[in-house]
Every structure is written in structure tokens, then in C-alpha cells.
Amino acid sequence: MRNDEKLTQNIDWPLFICYILLVSMGLSTVYSTAYSAEHPSLFDFSQMYGKQFLWICVSLFLGLLVFLIDSSIYRKFAVPIYLFTLTLLVVVLFMPAINGAHAWLGFGSFGIQPAEFAKIGTALLLSHYISNINIQLQNAKTVLLANLIIVLPMVLIILQPDAGTLLVFTSFLFVLYREGLSYDPILVPIVNLIPGIRFKQTWVGTHFIPILFYVVFLVVVTLLLSGSSFTFESLPGVVIPGIAGILSSLVVAGMLLYFFLSRMASRREKKRAFLVVLIGFTLSALMSMSVNFLFQGLAPHQKVRIELVLGLQESPDGEDYNRNRAMAAVGSGGVFGKGYTKASLASVESNHVPESETDFIFCPFAEEWGFMGSLILIVVYMTMLLRIIVIAERQRSKYYRVYAYAVGMILFYHFAINIGMNIGFAPVIGIPLPFFSYGGSSMMSFSILLFILLKLDSQRRDVLY
């Protein structure tokens, strides 16, 4: 059997079909949203839909190249690819700012966003590194290096600044958790400095990442409960973090005390329970205090957008204009929508919803196809994500499995946050809907991510490492 026939048979067709469906639905939505009667042809490259068609063709060509390259190449060149993307992130900081961010590398009329391609480099190197370490024998060095791979591009991205892409990079932390990376090599030596305490491992270290995100959730809930009289600009820097730290720490302490003390009687076990509560309190307080620090690194409009979502400000015709108009457009679609090309609120021509072809591409789709169409779109995305999980779990190679989960988490973050922005559940932080939004960098980077996964999966039976 020829190699190309073998690859065709081994390709995961359900995942590929989901990709084609999303790309096709996205292109048709861009066409209807940006349609111009003077330029009706889909192949008019002066229009958005013409350019989008061109980007899709380029992405499919790049996907073909991915399949022509042996899968071992991605592992062998993971470090150079990662370093190259980091170099681009450094170079872009010296480029002229566009919309307040140094995020684009321009070459004439052509521009790329290095942060989109940095996801590919980070996924490849993280997979390579995790597959080469023994999780059972991990030490402080291995834990720090694994996190450093993620943190380095995050630091460069926040300097642009690009809060949306920065948030997406935290998805890699869940990949570390899935592979069993524990923070005990760092936490245990610190904990054992306490007299009378000798731990080999801790519950907090093993579950550090979900605890971290849980604490972030508690901080957000605390801010929501604080009421509209509190804003990040109107109060001293320590006030809101202090309130959040006290309330969320009390919640953490209460839950941990109930969970541990209700099942323990010995003095030694109570000491351990007290220590876990203390660590939970400290983590919660530190996380709460870091809220203000992180906000200081955001642009003013980004701070306002987050405050608007948290209910700390109200500005229906100001900074909250995009979100309000997006929700109005989505709601106007009703159950079955207004019909293709009939979007009146979310079209580019009406400009009722700014950026309706990029960050708010879900709005015109929901207005045209209504609740039922939106449900179908969400089902396609969920099918793709579930299929990626199936692909990840059937891999014989640890490297392939880690990469599959990295791709799945990246796509999930983009999907969840983008849809959340469009229906008012998430702050407007400017990240595209995968395979759907208008844009060359996002279309190419998402396609390359997915085609590498398809390529690796097609050769899963030939690789054991």
C-alpha cells in the first residue's frame, strides 16, 4: 500500500469533517456579513470574503505540507520552532502599534500576528519536554522548566499588550495537570521548614493548578459581590485585593476544615489539615492581591471591559457598547433567525456591532440562523473538541497525547471565551472564533495546529515513545 493511501485511510475523518464544516460556515458568514453589491464575487481579493477565501486556500496548502512531512520532524525541531516564535514575539515589540498594541509584523499589505503562531511552538516544545521526563521522578528543576516554557511567551505577549492571547496560554497549565505534574518538589521543601512537619507530598501540590483556578474563581465571585460602588480605579490598590483575599480565604478555609477535620481524629492528621488550610489561605490571599497588580499591566480600555462584565461599572453607550450591541444582535435572531444575508444589526455595512467579521463573528451568524443555527454551530464545535479528547486518549505515544490535549485546550479556550463575549458572559478581550473569524494569522495557525494533530494521529501505530 502506498504511503499516501495509508495516510488517507488513517486520517481521522470525523475531526477533518468538523474542520471543513466550520471553515465553510465561517466563510459563508464572512461573505454575508461583509457583502458588497459592487463586488459580489467570492474571488474578489479586494474584499474581506475574497481575502478569507485566500487564507483558507493557503491554510489547506499548509495542511498538505504538514502531511508530506514525517511526524518525527515536529519533535526533532520543537526547540528551534519554539525559539523562532519567541524571536518573533521580541521583534514585534519594536513594530509600530496598531490599535494600541505591538502585535503585528507587517510586510507591505501583508501582516501576521506572531502570538498566534507562538501557540504552535509552545505546544510542540511542551509536548517534547513532558514526554522526555519521568513524572514519578520529577524534581524542582523539571517543574520549573515545564512552567518556564509556558511563561516566557506569556511575558512577551503581555508586553504587547494582548490580554486575550495571554489568557489562552494558561490553557497549557491544564495539560500539565492532565499529565500528573505536581508542584510538590517546590512546595514540600518550603512546608517542611515548619517544625514538626515532614511531608513527602501534599494534596495542594498535586492539585495546585485546579486550586489556582478555583481561587481565581473565588476572587471573581468576591468582586461580583462587592457591588457597583467598587472599581479598580476609584479605590486604593490594596483595598479590593484585601477584601477579596479575606472573603475568598474564609471560604477556602471553611471548605478545607470541613473536608479534613470531619474525617480526622489524630493530632498528626489535624496538623496536616491545619497546614492545608494555611496554604489555601495563603494562596487565596496572594492571588487576590495579585489582581490589582495584573490590572495595572492592562490597557485602560481592557480594565474597563472587565469591570463592566463584573458589574463594577455601567456604560451602555460607552465602553460597554460592543457587548450590548452584540447581545442585541444575537437576541434579534430569535429561534430560527432572519435568514442568510438578512442580518441587519451585525452586518459590516450597518456597523451596529463593531468587528462583526472578527471577534464578533458569532453575532451575524446567530442573527441569520437564530437559536437553532447557533445550537448546530455549538454542536459542531463540541463534536470537534470531544473528538480531540478521543484522539488524545488512544495515542500510544506520550508526546502525541500531550500535543493533542494542548490543541484541545487552546481550541476550547477560544471557543468558550469568544462565544461568551458575544452573549455577555465574558469580557471583550479580542480573541477569534477558531476556523470561523476573519483573519489570516488565526486561520493559518489554527489549521496548522489541527493538521499536525491529524498527521501525528495518522502515524500513531508506528510510534511508541
- DSSP string for residues in 205-228: HHTHHHHHHHHHHHHHHHHHHT-T
* For residue 14, cis peptide bond before it (omega within 30 degrees of 0): no
Give residue 67's pLDDT: 86
Q: What angle do CA 185, 190, 194 make, to 5 degrees?
A: 135
CB-based contacts of 272: which residues, under 8 Å, 6+ apart? Answer: 197, 199, 260
Residue 147, judged by CB atoms within 10 A of its CB (0-12, 13-18, 19+), counts as middle
Give residue 337's pLDDT: 87
CA nearest neighbour of 176 among 142, 130, 139: 130
Give residue 232's pLDDT: 44
Cell numbers for 115, please give them: 502570538
- The DSSP string of 228-246 is TT--TTTS-TTHHHHHHHH
CA nearest neighbour of 407 among 462, 448, 361, 465: 448
Tell me 264's DSSP state: -
Cell numbers for 406, please give them: 494542548
81 to 59, 76, 88, 305: CA distances (angstroms): 18, 10, 11, 34
CA nearest neighbour of 438 among 106, 16, 25: 25
d(CA 203, CA 183): 10
Give residue 405's pLDDT: 95
d(CA 298, CA 462): 47
H or E segment at 112?
A: strand 110-112
d(CA 202, CA 192): 11
In the numeric block, the cell 469580557 is attached to 427
d(CA 424, CA 305): 11
Give residue 315's pLDDT: 53
Cell numbers for 166, please give them: 495571554
Give residue 242's pLDDT: 45
Q: What angle do CA 156, 84, 411 make, to 5 degrees?
A: 65
Segment-wise mean pLDDT, segments of 10 residues, the chain, 465 residues: 57 94 94 85 86 94 90 90 94 83 72 90 94 81 92 91 88 90 81 68 76 69 48 42 50 54 54 61 59 59 60 53 77 86 74 78 90 93 94 90 95 92 80 91 94 90 63
Cell numbers for 240, please give them: 479590593
| Contact (Cβ atoms closer than 8 angstroms) between residue 114 and residue 47 | no
Give residue 122's pLDDT: 96
Q: At what angle do helices 398-422 and 171-178 cross, to 10 degrees?
A: 140
- The DSSP string of 389-405 is HHHHHT-SSHHHHHHHH
Give residue 162's pLDDT: 84
CA nearest neighbour of 359 among 171, 164, 168: 164
End-to-end CA separation in angstroms for the chain: 25
3-class DSSP string for 9-59: HHCCHHHHHHHHHHHHHHHHHHHHHCCECCECCCCCCCCHHHHHHHHHHHH
| Contact (Cβ atoms closer than 8 angstroms) between residue 122 and residue 149 | yes
